A = this chain, B = another copy of it.
Amino acid sequence: MNDYRFSEDVGSFFRSPVREIFKRVDLNAIYSFAGGYPSAETFPLEEIRATMSEVIDKYGSKAFQYGATQGVPELRAAVAKRCGVDQERVQITSSSQQGIDVCTRVLVNPGDVILTSSPSYLGALQSFRSYRADIRGVAHNADIDAYISAYEDVIAEVKAEGKHISFLYMIPDFQNPSGESLTLEERQRLVALAQKYDFLIVEDSPYRELRYEGEHIPTMYSLDPDRVIHLGSFSKIFAPGFRLGWAIAHPEILDKIYVCKQSLDLCPPIFDQYVAAEFLSSGKLDANLQKSIELYKGKRDLLLGLLEKHMPEGVTWTHPEGGLFLFLTMPEGFEAVKFYDRSLDAGVAYVAGEFFHPDGSGKNTMRMNFSFMSPEKITEGVRLLADLLRDEIL
């Protein structure tokens, strides 16, 4: 049998370029600014081991049985408390990627418009495309009136085409890939826009708690809890290997996500949820998070200093106040995808910026992660990359 017939959605699937990189190289053997991996040293192995044993003592076989589709009550309660919302508004997801996917699944028909920033998280773009959404990206602009007006223009275009806007997808805190955050005023203006034109907002917030300077800014969810779906993740504040996240939303939306999740995978992994619940409610998660923040702040400062010292003229970058990434812009004409083979041959990996741009622009940009590597490897990696770039650009 050689001629399989697939669904039409399959034509819109696209491979994660990050995962294609990981197929080619061993991340630990090279200088990897690619990926969004937490540092392995932030996983508190002995505390996890002890917590696992406690979970077996406390819950016994219940930790290995099927569980509620919404998630185990202990974890929903802990997340609700942490986020200051009612437990009835919390759905545990099998990874925050699943949170993005189920929102798209229950809200979007093929051809519906999803508004987002450009650049935006490529795993989200991957999910949006897989449901054949029409993705419209808007670049950030420090002039807030021009910024909002650019959204108004896109909305007018969409309305003129007779299309439905399903939601605006935003990562307001330490965005992936740019590392930048939205100001409170920008959040307020975007929420007002959603109210004016009656669309939803999906607020993806995996990095929010990784702040290294400045003050926390209110979530978009807090500005309109019935219009904003808030997605969270344990991947960056605990460990990605558990594949656990959460969605917070109006009960009517959550109910659709719940029924969808039944047929997706019945329920999130049970034992892992109890471990996360114990870690969270015992305060161990916060203590460990504090250590991660200190570690990552040091790595961010190191990377910023190294870029300043080594990068050739014409290269600029963002200055994130938190998160895992910063974004590099090379002179016009530079092509990060083409440069990739050369860079990888020299042992340096990054992710080309065009993959984060819904319209394929941003060819002269790249995303750099600073959480994963050791300070020594960051130092050597930047030196290598800067030498290669200098040679390429000049």
Task: Say if the beta carbon of A317 comes within 8 Å of chain B.
Answer: no
Q: Do A130 and B260 have beta carbons less than 8 Å apart?
A: yes
Q: How far is the CA of A8 from the CA of B98 in the complex (A)?
A: 19
CB distance from A350 to the nearest CB of B (A): 17
Partner pick for A240 among B40, B65, B263, CB 8 A cutoff: B65
Question: Are B95 and A259 neighbours in the complex by a CB distance under 8 Å?
Answer: no
Q: Chain B residues with Cβ under 8 A from A262's Cβ?
A: 15-16, 19, 123, 126
Q: Which residue of B lies closest to A95 (CB)?
A: B265
Docked-complex contact A4 and B263, CB < 8 angstroms: no
Interface size range on A against B: 35 or more
Instruction: Kindly provide the distance from the CB of A296 to the nearest chain B CB, expressed in whole angstroms.
Output: 16
CB of A35 within 8 Å of the partner chain: yes
* Cβ contact within 8 Å between B5 and A164: yes
The 13 listed contacts between A and B (C-beta, < 8 Å) are A5-B107, A9-B106, A19-B262, A45-B64, A53-B53, A63-B241, A97-B265, A101-B265, A126-B263, A241-B271, A242-B270, A243-B268, A269-B269
Give A residues with C-beta under 8 Å from B.
1, 4-10, 13-16, 19, 22, 35, 37-38, 40-41, 43, 45, 48-49, 52-53, 56, 60-69, 94-95, 97-98, 101, 105-109, 112, 123, 126-127, 130-131, 164, 166, 198, 200, 224, 226-227, 235, 239-243, 250, 252-253, 256, 259-260, 262-272
